[in-house]
Amino acid sequence: MDFFGSDTSLQPVSIKSFNSKLNEWISFFPSCSRSLLTIVMFPEYAMEVLNRCITTNTNTNKHVYIMAVLSMIRHRRDIVGTMPIKDIEAYRKRWADIFAENEAPIIQRRLENKPTILQQSKGGSKMTFNQIVEKRDKLPMGSIEHLLISMYTMIPPTRADYFELEVVRGDTEPVSKNYLRIQDDEKSGTRMDTVLRDFKTAKTYKEIRNELPVELVEVVKASLEKTPRKYLFMNANGKPHTRNSFTLWTRRVLSRIFGTDFTLVFFRHAFATHYVMNIDLRTMTDAQIKEISDKMGHSTEMFRAYRWIRGEEVDGADGAGEGSDEE
């Protein structure tokens, strides 16, 4: 069931996620009480059911379910029916309190710069940026694997936003919101820019634009020369990925390359950890920190939170990651 429709200021990716979580949550209830109003009107009972039935019972995972309820109350008050405004506000406040209670340990973990319990269970969380780069540089130039890791290590790593990255040349008008523009000039050579307008925080940041460094331009050129195509990453049917299929595909590919469970988020943590450990942020201006954060599509506070403290680890040292904090 679609609880949000098109009359909302939410991003499409958020709507899809919230609808999925709300429908799943409703399915946990007995048939006699299987409705959205049961969740809204009985918060404690709803959380008890969620805690009992959810597959991955972590604060981070429950965050999305609770956000879905709050967003639905805020954006679609018509769904909660003919309740008096004061009752709707009372439910909103109770759910806001539940959100704060669930968020507290997440915030604390960010302040401590530690991976979540779920992230700690995955080997990818223990890999340093230098170890990732070392593995990248052993892959064949022109291979899709080398291209994938290069796109997430040679420029500030985004989320799964290359799922439909259209390749356009010259002044050609792109069809997709996310695209790679290639411009050839006899004097200055080839210039490439990625432009992202469809991403999780697009409502806040509008657009993420990156001019690719020379080494990444060469990587992209090698890949496109080997396999000419309309989109930088395509599925087995020769079509662009959906965001979800790209996420699943990259996880399979990266886990095979690194020999452990590895998802795109580990690029972001490894990059932030490496950056903070090798460059003293106190010597950087707010504008410089903001520029990097903007290119990753999140706030400067989140950039700092993405850094993981690994005990006495020195990035790039042999065995790095073995001293990671464990719960």
Q: Which of 28-32, 216-220, 301-305, 318-322 has the lowest mean pLDDT?
A: 318-322
The larger pLDDT score, comparing residue 44 to residue 118, is at 44
pLDDT tens digits for 8-51? 577 788 888 899 999 999 999 998 889 888 999 999 999 999 99
Amino acid at 122: K
Three-state SS sequence of the chain: CCCCCCCCCCCHHHHHHHHHHHHHHHHCCCHHHCCHHHHHHCHHHHHHHHHHHCCCCCHHHHHHHHHHHHHHHHHCHHHHCCCCHHHHHHHHHHHHHHHHHHHHHHHHHHHHCCCCHHHHCCHHHHCCHHHHHHHHCCCCCCCHHHHHHHHCCCCCCCCCCCCCCEEEECCCCCCCCCEEEEEEECCCEEEEEEEECCCCCHHHHCCEEEECCHHHHHHHHHHHHHCCCCECCECCCCCECCHHHHHHHHHHHHHHHHCCCCCCHHHHHHHHHHHHHHCCHHHCCHHHHHHHHHHHCCCHHHHHHCCCCCCCCCCCCCCCCCCCCCC
pLDDT band at 226 (very low <50, low <70, confident <90, very high): very high
pLDDT higher than 60, residue 281: no
For residue 196, what pLDDT is reported? 95
pLDDT tens digits for 284-302? 666 766 767 667 765 666 5
The larger pLDDT score, comparing residue 292 to residue 151, is at 151
Query: What's the pTM value of the predicted model, to 2 decimals?
Result: 0.62
pLDDT tens digits for 81-110? 666 777 888 999 999 999 999 888 877 666
pLDDT higher than 90, residue 264: yes
pLDDT band at 308 (very low <50, low <70, confident <90, very high): very low
The larger pLDDT score, comparing residue 118 to residue 247, is at 247
pLDDT band at 140 (very low <50, low <70, confident <90, very high): very high
Average pLDDT, the chain: 82
pLDDT band at 213 (very low <50, low <70, confident <90, very high): very high
